[in-house]
A = this chain, B = another copy of it.
């Protein structure tokens, strides 16, 4: 393995100069620089990055902790992170926790051991205390996930308002008995989406029937099963707001299987605007959240932190919008 001293020798300079050519070329005289560069070429020299990492104790690598990379929402966020990272010369270490908190705690050691320069967390399961302590010592950004009252830069959407908007859309369409399939309530995202749903219901003086709120697991099957419960009610709802698209799809399947037409007999609105929501039939009306941009923004914030910027603005809330397709009945309503 050819090393810096080999280059130095052949170019008749010191290793310091070679190092300068690599890291701050402007401080080296044009002549010398050319000479060194040509020797580097000639010897096909590759700097030993590990030595550099060690010496500088920085790695140009960031850690991304994701609950489940097989979930399209997370995959898109990671896509955005990776793009912004690569554009800025950073590498991405991916840790998939499979929702096991122990994996998260383990992953944090990478930070402590300086194996990474910073971390983006897409999960919200770490203890607030731990996370706060970590974030005081290392650059950390939360994306999508957020933890109440935690002073860590966070990129997210307004889950409450978005859900309220989704629900109000159903109300505007004339629905009076609206059900909600919420996400697992250990998640603050789920709790917020539920909160938004309730706000819409209360503010519009609709009946509040607790049986119309059922907790799913953000999966197709759970959406399917919760919808079956609704359909079994003496007075079933006429519309359902599901806290993510997958559950919305499951709910629609259940409705159809029970002879209901969607949206005519049962209107459904989802959340996330995953790619398949437009392919589904009926195409899903849903809240579009900017997944890729969220990742990009999170990475940008992390970069700033790593450059020493101290963020005073903690919450970065990105815009969502209601995408009206076929599952809610709005389009058909217009035609009437």
Contacts and interface: CB of A to CB of B under 8 A. Distances in A.
Interface of A: 46-51, 53-54, 57, 59, 61, 64, 68-70, 72, 75-76, 78-79, 82-83, 86, 91-96, 98, 103, 109-110, 112-115, 220, 246, 249-250, 253, 256, 275-276, 279-281, 292
Given A92-B94, A95-B82, A96-B82, A46 B113 contact: yes
Contact of A75 (B47, B75, B82, B112): B75
Nearest to A82: B96
A103 B92 CA distance: 14
Contact of A54 (B54, B69, B76, B256): B54
Contacts of A72: 70, 72, 75
A18 to B, nearest CB: 16
A93 B96 contact: no
Contacts of A53: 50, 53-54
Nearest to A74: B75
A162 to B, nearest CB: 22
A69 B69 contact: yes
Nearest to A57: B50
Question: Across chains A and B, which 8 residue pairs bring their CB atoms closest together, nearest first?
Answer: A54-B54, A49-B113, A94-B94, A50-B54, A82-B96, A75-B75, A276-B276, A70-B79
Nearest to A54: B54
Nearest to A115: B49
A282 to B, nearest CB: 10
Contacts of A276: 276, 279
A10 B298 CA distance: 42
